[in-house]
Amino acid sequence: MKFCRSDQRTRWEFGRYPRRILIFLLSRNSHQWRFLIKNPGLFDGFDPAVLYFPKAPVGGVFNTRFLKDLGEARLGGGMVSTGLANGSGASGDGKSQVLQATDIVELISQTVSLKQRSGKFVGLCPFHQEKTPSFQVDRVKQYYYCFGCKKGGNAIDFVIERDRVDFRQALQILADQAGIDLPSFSGREGQKASDRQVLFDAQAAACLFFEKLLAHPQHGEAGRRYLAERGFTEESISRFHLGVAPDAWDGLLKSSGMKRFAPGQLAVGGLVKSRERGDGHYDTFRNRLMFPIRDETGRTIAFGGRVMPGSSDPAKYLNSPETPLFNKSSCMFGMDVARDRMLETRSVTVVEGYTDVVMAHQFGVTNVVSVLGTALTAQHISKLRRFVDRVVLLFDGDAAGDAAVNRAVELFLTQPIEISIATLPEGVDPDELLLRDGAAGFNAVIDSAVDALTYKWRRLVQQIGNSDGLTGKQHAVEAYLATLAAARGSGPVDSIRWGVALASVSRLTEIPTAELYRRFKMTRSSPQTKSKGFVQVSEPGEPNYRAATLQTGARSKAEGFIIGLLLLEPDRWDVIQHQILPREFENENLRQVAEIFWGYQQDHGEPVLNEFLDLLTVPSVKSEALRWMAEASDTADLETMLSGSLEYLADCRKRAEEQKLIAQIRAGETGTGEKGSEQSPTTTVSMDVLRQLQEKMKRPDLKRQSS
């Protein structure tokens, strides 16, 4: 028996398969799901082995876990398949499964404070600074869009933008949150991924052990007392997951939570060390206050330990050794909690100690991170560049050595990011400054930061002394230029950045720019020379909102509304496809969306929005599509707007055809025939074209209906 409803693309098939297997095919229309929930009697008398949802909808409560519950409740525990394994239009990488299991409102609420307004959720955009909310999240359609910075997409896009990770990493983050096991890799790559996960699990278990020990009434008393004396609150301790390592050789190794890991695995993760004499292992960290080092997504990858008061250990600070998860030359402390504020302000302050970071966040200055016992490196900058445009290095007044300053100048020249330096009052640490002067005093120091070139010049003048004297100034200039030459020789320097740097040096030293170029034996690059440096205005395919504006003409608005409405209500395509073709869209971005949408409808049927968005791989195309969809969703009278848009585009086509015919007539008039002869071929063509134009003029025009 078969029942079909072509308008909703739904069909039920009974009795076709052996063992009374029922296959239930559904489209993405949520009304059909409501029908299923309200009519469980549909399955009376059947004992289906499989309930198959190849096109399960997303949004609302209809997610993978819900379907599993439904299968157990309605179908006697029969297996539930969501069409997410190989085949049936499913994505082999689990993308569809992850999107179905993720509520985008809950996801974004982890980062943004959202308030419901007119059926949608709004808040301050996490990707740019704003005072009035322009960030919008749609739970039904499962997408987000910001009217300010024009960024938008589905849940995966949000994680990519928020965490600055690639697609696979974003997918894994969402899968972990939803409790979904993604298809594993095969062969050596699969083993490598599995080994890394074991290391992550071991670090997490160790972190929990240290945290519990700090909270222990007896074993954690000394640690809690020290933190309280330093001014740290319980909230800060909890936010940074601080803990304490026991004063024992194998306290962690023999703890119950670590028994599931082999000692060799713990050694690879840097948690234990092999004994030099004989077999066995011992704890890496003993009798130390523990600071978990986390990656940008919040996963523990290593630890930093500060010696407890009264300990005889000469090493005040101890970091985990380098492991497959941890490299101290690229990792930083506090990235996971500072990331959001870094994205908002596009700036970060880099300090030198864990406690400085914790105290800064405690006082509300949350775009602060620290390096891990090393100077700032190119790898650090590469990671920070994903989040910020400006790095402020905060040096102690009595500890800003020449090597550290010279390194900052080197990075300033070789890296496409602004690097500034601020100096604390002499004898004062960042945490002491915060406790004494609060966030206002700390921010005042950060606001006084100057770029690395200026800082280096002022430092040289101060060190040499008599900057007004000819000899003193000459020595300062020579030392300064030597520093620049060494920095320039440390790596490739973009020619434009080098020119800007020399212009700044010229102002500081009062040496003409031409003389500086001569000294460094470098000629100016001509405007036609193609730079091979690091500076790039925008990523390939990424919109440059400062340099370009969206089309706002009537035609662009008509085209944009049609695309926005199709994304909002894809079932309207059956009517719209007969009135406009993708090639007729003049806006290049919208034409690309139309081509993909038309093709998807013809091959697969109505698309699910958050899956369709992944087909729009060019950021500017995706952004414009979401912009028009958001505007369409705010339109009160969709029917009037749609008919007006289609009629306007029809008028545009008609005018274009008329202009083409007129052009043909004018071209025909330039032809010549012999005097006194019959009409020339050119004249005949002109007359034919004129008759076509007259026929067109006789046809009734499409008149706009008044609202």
Following DSSP, what letter does each residue of 387-439 receive, concatenated?
T-SEEEEEE-TTT--HHHHHHHHHHHHHSSSEEEEEEPPTT--HHHHHHHHHH
pLDDT of residue 521: 66
User: Would you say 141 and 568 are in contact if contact means Cβ atoms under 8 Å apart?
Assistant: yes
Angle 240-244-247 from CA coordinates, rounded to 5°: 165
- The CA distance from 388 to 118, in Å, is 34
Residue-wise pLDDT tens digits, 329-359: 889 999 999 988 998 888 999 998 899 999 9
Q: Which residues contact 437 (CB under 8 A, 6 or more apart)?
A: 444
- The CA distance from 177 to 162, in Å, is 15
Q: How far apart are the first and last CA of the chain?
A: 48
Structure token digits, residue 593: 């969306």
With tokens 């322009």, the residue in question is: 134
Across the strands, what pairs with 13? 2, 23
CATH architecture of structural domain 187-319: Alpha-Beta Complex (3.90)
pLDDT of residue 693: 55
- pTM beyond cutoff 0.85: no
Alpha-helical (H) ranges within 512-587 are 513-519, 554-568, 573-576
> 335-519 maps to which CATH number?
3.40.1360.10
In three-state form (DSSP H/G/I as H, E/B as E, the rest C), the secondary structure along 616-629 is: CCCHHHHHHHHHHH
Q: Are strands 288-294 and 243-245 parallel, antiparallel or unpaired?
A: antiparallel
pLDDT of residue 265: 93
Structure token digits, residue 378: 């190119």
User: Would you say 325 and 296 are in contact if contact means Cβ atoms under 8 Å apart?
Assistant: no
Angle 60-64-68 from CA coordinates, rounded to 5°: 115
Instruction: Determine phi and psi for 665, rounding to 5 degrees.
Output: -65, -45
Structure token digits, residue 174: 């969402």
- The CA distance from 424 to 180, in Å, is 48
pLDDT of residue 398: 55
- Give domain 99-178's CATH superfamily: Zinc finger, CHC2-typedomain (3.90.580.10)
- Which of left, alpha, beta for 445 (phi over 0: left; psi -120 to 50: alpha)? alpha
CA within 13 Å, CB half, 383? 20
Residue 517: name the closest of 488, 490, 476, 479 by CA: 488
- The CA distance from 582 to 597, in Å, is 9
- The CA distance from 226 to 287, in Å, is 13
CA within 13 Å, CB half, 37? 11
Alpha-helical (H) ranges within 75-186 are 95-101, 104-109, 155-163, 167-178
Residue 326: what residue type?
F
Using 50 as the pLDDT threshold, list the residues of the chain that sit under it.
1-92, 186, 522-552, 672-677, 679, 700-707
Residue 144: name the closest of 176, 122, 117 by CA: 122
CA within 13 Å, CB half, 592? 16
- The CA distance from 396 to 539, in Å, is 37
